[in-house]
Structure 1
Amino acid sequence: MHPFRRTFTQLLQARFPLLYLESFEEQRALDEIVATTAALKTPRPVWRWSATDGLCRAGQAPERGTDDPVAAVRAAQRVTERAVFVLHDLHGFLGEATRPADPQVVRTLRDLVRAFRTGDLTCTAILVSPILRIPPELEKDVTVVDFVLPGEDEIRALLDVMITANADTVPVRLDDRGHDRLTRAALGLTLTEAENAFVLAMVDGGSLTESGVEVVLAEKAQTIRKSGLLEVIRTAGHGGTVAIGSGAGESAR
């Protein structure tokens, strides 16, 4: 079982009321959440909230008047079934260094925690956000769940799917060594970033060859620069790129 699915399953079974998942990979996170809840002994439906769609149960229309986060969280408390609520855009209401959190949103989340913890139904809310923002009032109520970047198997599967999908238009001249190098070059990227890098490697010269590794590493360097790191050093290692400087808590592999 995927490490995230194992941890998430345990937290659901233990009735943890409020979780926080920090990731730019919103769709990948949602897919993992849905897969995990569907595999429970008693599967739970997934409700989703975003600032544009409001609160809606999977496959159904949004609940009227739930664009506002306070209204959405209150609506979640009124749901009369075991469920998991995925809240996508709440980080914008949880404050930052120069702006305090919205007190109504914080209060409503604290009310939700109490309701989910003591209620008859087993419900959990999970905030999915590219930024970790937890106001002091919620520090004791929120459990942060790790959601790591795609591993080598996921990157390799993506590359294989893209090669198959483009077999009629993009000649592939890769041996096993080249395939492995291309896969490892994309480690440290999100699936979307890896897909974009592989597309560029395919259109570079009109075919996919081992030289695509350089294209992928160049895209990785762009990603590192956008994150605010000061310097990117190319190495002869598996991934070929190391980030050095402030904010470089983890090297791109």
Structure 2
Amino acid sequence: MNNNDLKLILNTNIGVVVIETYDEKRTTELLSEQFADSGLPAWRWSVTDGLAPLGFGLELANPEQYSEPAVVLNYIKQYRNPGAFVLCDMHPFLDEPKIVRLIKDIALNYTGNKQKLVFVSHRLKLPPEIARYAAQAELSMPSEEEILAIIREEARTWASQNRKNRIKTDNITLQKLVNNLKGLTHRDVKRLAYGAIADDGAITEEDLPEVTRAKFNLMDMEGVLHFEYSTAHLREVAGLDTLKKWLEDRRHAMQNPGASKLDPPKGVLLFGVQGGGKSLAAKAIAGVWGLPLLRLDMAALFNKYIGETERNLREALKLADLMSPCVLWLDELEKGMAQGNDDSGTPKRLLGTLLTWMAERKTSVFMVATSNDISQLPPELMRKGRFDEIFFVDLPGEDARKAIFAIHLKKRELNPDDYNLDLLTVMTEGFTGAEIEQAIVSATYAAAARETQVSDTIIREAIQQTQPLSVVMAEKIAELKVWAEDRAVRAN
């Protein structure tokens, strides 16, 4: 919504307007301008300052006496002239019956008294009995041109403070910084832009990851959406050659959205045996493409209050859009989308929210969904076109297992050439990558306990003590392979 739309809402015969924003200062400045243009007296309320003029509202003799929510609302209710009251941080008090009743009284009398309530908060959910009288408004975020202007202004500020003529950068890096700052408020754009410049008087590629992390932290989705600081590289993923080739073919289109006439890649679904490398592959996709990785915890979406679970998903997807280009990893998708015996309707509503976003999104968000049990996923999610491709991650073959041993031995500063990898590879037929890694971990503990070096013998002992999933869950894995036969592409 742009600021003209905000003006239209403020000028309608709606007595209650809700604005959710973190940029309270700019919001109140814009509201002051809007009310001044329309000739409407306005006041701003907060629990610390009480009721003070916003623009040309009447100065009260003792504004602090109105710091209590019930007191200020009662004052507004009795006020007999048109006016606008911007109420900051009222959200903690909206579960109090008296507060709700006062707000409702003011809203019901709006056509007569013309007192407009504007709630400004980082997040605010009105009770149902008030919500029907309210309108929701959003402030437009800075455009690319405005972000670029802010960066240049911050560059001039830094240069003048440090007696420099100009900062060092190039057009490509500058445009990347502009893209990274999209979706932030004016204040946050200024702060992050100045921070990128201040450390060394330049805007470089090295500044971009830190800006991306800071941007994510500002979005306040911790617990549901996680910024994965540690990604991987495809060389850390053994096997999966078909998937690697598929990703390499799409690298340019994903790294340069808008610069190519190719359709942007939408996403992939990876399913298969637990521990088979799906999570590592998701991290490697972000790593090889040089994009931020956001992990959506499907289990953490759920909330006991009706509608909040879907809201959590919408907010997470909105944040992913703001972070684009990025990789969005939906970990263990079946935990949120499995229909099963759930009679609350929540999984169906979540599915509807996700499908709508997948169909309508215009941003460069590449979705990587991982699943251990594809039979639990609804057929609507599986139809052609939802994902670019569905990959089956099978148990690693002989060459892949040998590579996995080499990777994990090197990680622990052990030389693979010192071990009989051919024998270890044969012994671990049917093992997942995670099981091979755990065998090496167990061997390092055993060697430390014996005060000796990790040897072939100790690793073989660890392998012999492992009962792989291919044995424990043989029937389930067989079912997965049968399902994948004609429905998916083998990633290995």
Normalising by structure 2, we get a TM-score of 0.45
Amino acid of the residue matched to residue 46 of structure 1?
A: A
Larger displacement relative to structure 2 (61-70 or 226-235): 226-235
Separation of aligned partners in 2, 1:219 and 1:237 = 22
CA shift, 1:240, in A, is 4.4
Quick one: percent identity of the two aligned structures? 22
Asked if 1:49 is matched to 2:45, the reply is yes
CA shift, 1:21, in A, is 0.8
CA shift, 1:64, in A, is 4.8
Separation of aligned partners in 1, 2:219 and 2:7 = 32
Asked if 1:241 is matched to 2:316, the reply is no
> What secondary structure sits across from 2:13 in the alignment?
coil
5+ long unaligned stretches in structure 1: 95-100
CA shift, 1:215, in A, is 2.9
**What is the aligned partner in structure 1 of residue 75 from structure 2?**
75
Separation of aligned partners in 2, 1:209 and 1:64 = 46
Contact 1:186 1:220 in 2 (8 A): yes
**What is the aligned partner in structure 2 of residue 32 from structure 1?**
30
Contact 1:77 1:112 in 2 (8 A): yes
Q: Which has the higher helix share?
A: 2
Cα gap change, 1:123 to 1:230, in 2 (>3 Å): closer
Cα gap change, 1:117 to 1:218, in 2 (>3 Å): same
Give me the CA root mean square deviation: 2.6
Cα gap change, 1:143 to 1:221, in 2 (>3 Å): closer
**What is the aligned partner in structure 2 of residue 10 from structure 1?**
8
Equivalent pairs, count: 240
> What secondary structure sits across from 2:19 in the alignment?
strand
Separation of aligned partners in 2, 1:23 and 1:149 = 10
Amino acid of the residue matched to residue 161 of structure 1?
A: E
**What is the aligned partner in structure 2 of residue 172 from structure 1?**
167
Separation of aligned partners in 1, 2:141 and 2:4 = 16
Cα gap change, 1:4 to 1:82, in 2 (>3 Å): farther
Contact 2:44 2:52 in 1 (8 A): yes
Cα gap change, 1:19 to 1:230, in 2 (>3 Å): closer
CA shift, 1:51, in A, is 0.5
Asked if 1:131 is matched to 2:123, the reply is yes
**What is the aligned partner in structure 1 of residue 261 from structure 2?**
none
CA shift digits 1:200-219 (9 cap, x unpaired): 21233x21222332331232
Q: How does 1:1-253 map to 2 (within 5 A)?
A: 3-40=1-38, 43-58=39-54, 60=59, 63-94=63-94, 101-119=95-113, 122-168=114-160, 169=162, 171-204=166-199, 206-211=200-205, 212-223=207-218, 227-232=222-227, 236=255, 240-241=291-292, 243-246=294-297, 247=313, 248-250=316-318, 251=320, 252-253=323-324
Normalising by structure 1, we get a TM-score of 0.82
CA shift digits 1:84-107 (9 cap, x unpaired): 21000210111xxxxxx1011001
Larger displacement relative to structure 2 (168-177 or 129-138): 168-177
> What secondary structure sits across from 2:133 in the alignment?
coil
